[in-house]
Amino acid sequence: MVGFMNISLHRLGTALLLACLISVPTARATPVSWISVNPSKSGFVLSQTGAAFIPWGFNYSRDDRHRLLEDYWNTAGADGWAKVERDFREMKRLGANVVRINLQFASFMEAPGRPNPSSLARFEKLIDLAESLHLYLDITGLGTFRAAAVPSWYNNLSERERWAVQAEFWDAIARVGANHSGIFAYDLMNEPLVSTERRARGEWTLPTELDGYRYIEYIDIDPAGRSAQDIVRAWVRQMTDAIRRHDTRHLITLGMIWIDGVEPEKMPISPSAIAPEVDFLAVHMYPTSKRIDLALASLAHYRVGRPIVIEETFPLHCTPAEYEDFLRRSRAIASGWLAHFWSSPEELRQKTDASSTLMLQSLDVFQRLNPNH
């Protein structure tokens, strides 16, 4: 097992490596305005002008072939980086101003204290692409979506060691992103959970899979007498400290899972517990058919003194008409919305499978409801 001391031994070399990496001059697009929370903490503004900014965009974590972003962003040809460029231009054409990406831990950390320089360089290239199109990135980190790709050394770390190397991930990401205004936010983890009971060693992800991916990860595997609130706050503070060493301007949040029928304040990571630690609340809501009113009532529980962004939503469990109703009525509560994208409408129209049809319908709703038009 890789020991905690190994992390410290690599720190100096890591710092020198990243300093060299981010000092290489690259072509920059015209800078976009920085984003901040408005004075009333009810939404967002463009820092340069004070004008309101409404996040409206897409999750872009995989393509129509179920490839993760890092599977193809380094490859040549029409299905590689060229596809990323096409998709970003298409999302912009559809009216997006924010694109959310999920970065996989294994793609960015080769070992404790050893970030992957080629992944960091490609990450910066993606930021440059977004900025050139006047898009902002919502950067979610620490992904362990593909179980077979998660290195055994990472799963075998103790909680203290794991948190330390997770902080190193965010240290590396923040070094690259700090001077880029085209970042909307850093989302510390996708749908984390706090385990309230002891789990088996190395059992850091929920084994439930969707299309072969595990989207839910535990922050701890042994509460060791601590409350869920204490665990999540300590973890968020450690990740935030790693980011703030290099980046004091970009917003920080946490992608919170929502479960239909469960009161948000009764979840191990509740809105009131996390609100003091983040700049806005990011909730993932997939409303259920014939329960739109209940979904909206649940969303109201996230009104705890921070802006609310519905960071993931899609008509997965409801009809497109109900989805449209949810999006319209949630405007009274939320300040931003991110749907899903994996193919353009033109590509989707050439397919007849149910998921492509549903995606096409959701994109139609997205375009018609754009609050920025």
More confident residue, 219 or 61: 219
pLDDT at 29 over 60: no
3-state secondary structure of 70: helix
User: SS3 letters for 94-115?
Assistant: CCCCEEEEEEEHHHHEEECCEE
Residue-wise pLDDT for 275-316, tens only, equals 999 999 999 999 999 999 999 999 999 999 999 999 999 999
Residue 327 pLDDT: 98
The stretch 170-185 carries a mean pLDDT of: 98
Residue 365 pLDDT: 97
Query: What domains are defined for the chain?
Result: 4-369 (3.20.20.80)
User: What does the mean pLDDT of the chain come to?
Assistant: 92
The stretch 162-168 carries a mean pLDDT of: 98
Q: Which of 225, 236, 212, 165 is nearest to 1 (CA)?
A: 165
- Residue 61: pLDDT band with limits 50, 70, 90: confident
Residue-wise pLDDT for 226-256, tens only, equals 999 999 999 999 999 999 999 999 999 999 9
**CB hemisphere CA count around 284 (13 angstroms):** 20
Of the ranges 18-22, 147-151, 200-204, 221-225, which one carries the lowest mean pLDDT score? 18-22
The stretch 132-141 carries a mean pLDDT of: 98
pLDDT at 125 over 80: yes
- Residue 19: pLDDT band with limits 50, 70, 90: very low
Q: Which of 218, 87, 192, 202 is nearest to 140 (CA)?
A: 192
Residue 5 pLDDT: 32
- Residue 15: pLDDT band with limits 50, 70, 90: very low
The residues, any chain, with a CB within 8 Å of residue 336's CB and separated by 6 or more, are: 43, 44, 54, 55, 56, 98, 307, 308, 309, 310, 311
Q: Which of 224, 218, 165, 227 is nearest to 194 (CA)?
A: 218
Residue-wise pLDDT for 97-121, tens only, equals 999 999 999 999 999 999 999 999 9
Residue 211 pLDDT: 84
pLDDT at 59 over 60: yes
Residue 283 bridge partners (DSSP) = 256, 310
Provide, rounded to the nearest whole percent, the portion of the chain with pLDDT above 90. Answer: 88
More confident residue, 62 or 226: 226
Residue 53 pLDDT: 98
pLDDT at 25 over 70: no
Whole-model pTM?
0.91
- Residue 30: pLDDT band with limits 50, 70, 90: low
